[in-house]
Amino acid sequence: MLFVQNVVNGLLLGGLYVCIAIGFSLIWGVLNIINFLHGSLIVLGSYIAYFAFVYFGLSPFIAPIFIMPLMFAFGYALQGSVLNVVIGKPVLITLTLTFGLDLILNNLMVWGFTANFRRVVFEHPLPTFEVHGIVIPGDRLMAMALAFLLTLIFFLLLNRSRIGRAIVAVRNDRDAAVLMGVNVKQIYAITFATGVAFAGAAGSLLSVVFPISPINSGVLLGKAFVICILGGLGSIGGAVIGGLALGIIESIGAMAAGPEYTVLISFIVLLAVLAIKPTGIAGKLGYE
Amino acid sequence: MPKASPQTSRHALTARIGPVAVAILLVVLLVLPHYLDNYSLRLATTVFMYCVLAWSWNFIGGFVGYPSFGIAAFFGLGSYVGAIMLTQDMIPFWLSPACAAVVCLVVAALLGAPILRLRGHYFAVASLALGEVFRELAMNWTAVTGGGMGVNLPPLRSSLGTDSQVFYYMFLLLALVTFAVTVAVGRSRLGVAFRCIRQNEEAANMIGIDATRVKIIAFALSAAFPGAAGALYASWVGYIDPSDVFDIIISVKAPVMALLGGVGTVAGPAIGAFLYLAFEEIVWRNLLQFHAAVLGLIIVLLVLFLPNGFVDVTRRRKILDGAS
């Protein structure tokens, strides 16, 4: 029973992990940039959700509706002003640049919000379900459901919209996309902004489950790395598999070895996957 | 007879001036501790330490062109090896860097085989993950490492001089060894193999270079010296904990310094380390609350405007001057 409970916990967590990783995976896959800012962007989303909750009573479950456009604009500006310069440069340059940007953003958040942990506390939390002795907290279930909804929206965006198809086209063959009349620069900016918007949305959902602090950004970034490598870059399916797998690995690992070993286990899994099958469980070239 | 281009004549000039300049610099550095206060000594020692890290990174990142972010992994590993051996009273102080270097060399050689098959982004991520794994190990293996509590090291009590003088000379010596190895490798067949792989790994394999072996050598070299530096650092500061010595920022600073001075050159990493630490010190002193942000800003500006470093800028200007 304990085992089943841990798997359920892992799946609940994994749903959120999927949401953490899709934006990161998109930016890596299309722009070929490892976005070191991702963790801090998620935390920024959490803070916006937190303040919206405290000052306007807005639920973090609804907040993504306005957080995403805000973060999209921020991401668009960031890509247009700074990141566009390094598109196509080696990873040494792009990773170092986003690391530097992360230092700036994180420092500003520590200064503005302090490093103290904050928490969204509902006056009326959703009820906790119990099915055959398995406990399912309503808030976590809601967060997971919304995370999957966001992932579905992300999927439809890439597959059904003109811009989404253009993003996939640029991902698969940049030069051919140019010949087809795609404005590649604009697509890069939109892609990055979309990744940032989903980071913000993930942050909003996370604020219900985890305490919020700028210190968390490194942990969240680490998770995004593990999920992307584990599931495989370049597909939403990969992020879904990687996210759920990490959730389950973490909760079962915590049960078997102790919660303090979860980070170690997940990074060893990451190295093992890189050593054995670098493309991950479901890795493929295009964003299908 | 072909006319000597401005470049070759400049090479001849640096070949003549270079050793003299290094000798003069060395004499200055050797007598300097007698004229510096402790604060300046500490700064100079830090510069030597980062020279070691930047030169070390240069083996794998500069010469071979593999984007490593694994310096912190071996700096931390070395500092823990040194710290544990010293607290257990297994070796005298001066031997700890050598022991740490050997351990890091072996660990890197073993880990190199699977990791160096990866390229580009995947290699960068793997090297980054290495540091995270080591840090978590140090954090959780409490019986040996003291976990999050860290390790306190015994005081030095050397008869040779004050602590800051001893560490100044130790780090200077380590920097000189790293420099000498850099120069020797740069001129050897191994250095040629490094640069071949950077330019085209398939072609390097084709002309008979055992790329895997050569890359492992480069990776092991870029692990051994940070290991020694870590061991020295541990005795120097007297206390280490996992989040301090495995800090990702060490892994980023080393390539940033090399970038600042000029990647793949002999002098570049040292020049970069000096300039970067000069910036950092000014920032630390004046903007304590925003030092991370300002360092981030420096990194961003550097990457945007000087992606090939200062050495490269001057070289370009010289060539232009020669042409005009």
**What is the rounded distance in angstroms from the CA atom of residue B305 to the CA atom of residue B220?**
32
Q: Six-digit token pair at B302?
A: 């550097």
Among A34, A85, A104, beta carbon nearest to B293: A104
Q: Which runs of consecutive H residues, i.e. helices, occur in chain A?
A: 2-31, 38-56, 64-81, 91-113, 138-160, 162-172, 174-179, 184-209, 217-231, 236-257, 262-276
Mean pLDDT calculated for residue range A106-113: 90
Asked if residue A128 has pLDDT above 90, the reply is: no
**What is the rounded distance in angstroms from the CA atom of residue A40 to the CA atom of residue B296?**
14
Is A91–B120 a contact, with Cβ atoms under 8 angstroms apart?
yes
Judged on CB neighbours under 10 Å (0-12, 13-18, 19+), A130 is exposed
ipTM exceeding the 0.90 mark: no
* Half-sphere exposure at residue B279, Cβ-oriented, CA atoms within 13 angstroms: 20
Q: What pLDDT shows up at residue B13?
A: 59
Q: What pLDDT shows up at residue A287?
A: 42
**What is the rounded distance in angstroms from the CA atom of residue B191 to the CA atom of residue B189?**
5
**What is the rounded distance in angstroms from the CA atom of residue A93 to the CA atom of residue B309?**
12
Asked if residue B78 has pLDDT above 90, the reply is: yes
Among B61, B137, B300, beta carbon nearest to A100: B300
Please give the full DSSP string across B101-150, using - where no structure is assigned.
HHHHHHHHHHHHHHHTT--HHHHHHHHHHHHHHHHHHHHH-HHHH-GGG-
Q: What pLDDT shows up at residue B294?
A: 86
Chain A neighbors of B291, CB-CB under 8 A: 107
pLDDT band at A43 (very low <50, low <70, confident <90, very high): very high
Asked if residue B4 has pLDDT above 60, the reply is: no
Q: What pLDDT shows up at residue A139?
A: 84
Is B304–A261 a contact, with Cβ atoms under 8 angstroms apart?
no
Chain A neighbors of B120, CB-CB under 8 A: 90-91
Q: What pLDDT shows up at residue B310?
A: 60
Mean pLDDT calculated for residue range B61-85: 92
Chain B neighbors of A246, CB-CB under 8 A: none
Asked if residue A32 has pLDDT above 60, the reply is: yes
CB burial of A227-249 (b: ≥16 within 10 Å; e: otherwise) equals bbbbbbbbbbbbbbbbbbbbbbb
Mutation choice for A interface testing from B121, B248, B295 by most A CBs within 10 A: B121
Is A274–B252 a contact, with Cβ atoms under 8 angstroms apart?
no
Q: What pLDDT shows up at residue A286?
A: 41
Give B163's contacts (C-beta < 8 A, 6+ positions apart): B155, B156, B236
Is A222–B132 a contact, with Cβ atoms under 8 angstroms apart?
yes
Q: What pLDDT shows up at residue B320?
A: 39
Residue B45 CB neighbours (<10 A): 24
CA distance A87 to chain B (A): 11
Q: What pLDDT shows up at residue A109?
A: 92
- Using CA coordinates, name the residue in chain A closest to B290: A107
Q: What pLDDT shows up at residue B191?
A: 87
Asked if residue A201 has pLDDT above 60, the reply is: yes
Chain A neighbors of B129, CB-CB under 8 A: 225, 267, 270-271, 274
Asked if residue B306 has pLDDT above 60, the reply is: yes
Is A264–B296 a contact, with Cβ atoms under 8 angstroms apart?
no
Asked if residue B268 has pLDDT above 70, the reply is: yes
Mutation choice for A interface testing from B119, B249, B300 by most A CBs within 10 A: B300
Q: What pLDDT shows up at residue B9?
A: 55
pLDDT band at A231 (very low <50, low <70, confident <90, very high): confident
Place of tokens 């040779």: B160
Mutation choice for B interface testing from A229, A267, A269 by most B CBs within 10 A: A267
Q: Which of A255, A276, A209 is nearest to A46 (CA)?
A: A209
Q: What pLDDT shows up at residue A255?
A: 85
Q: What pLDDT shows up at residue A288?
A: 39
Select, from the ranges A139-143, A281-285, B85-89, B170-174, the one with the highest average predicted confidence (pLDDT): B170-174
Give A108's contacts (C-beta < 8 A, 6+ positions apart): B293
pLDDT tens digits along A177-200: 888 888 888 889 999 999 999 999
**Percentage of chain B exceeding pLDDT 90:** 34
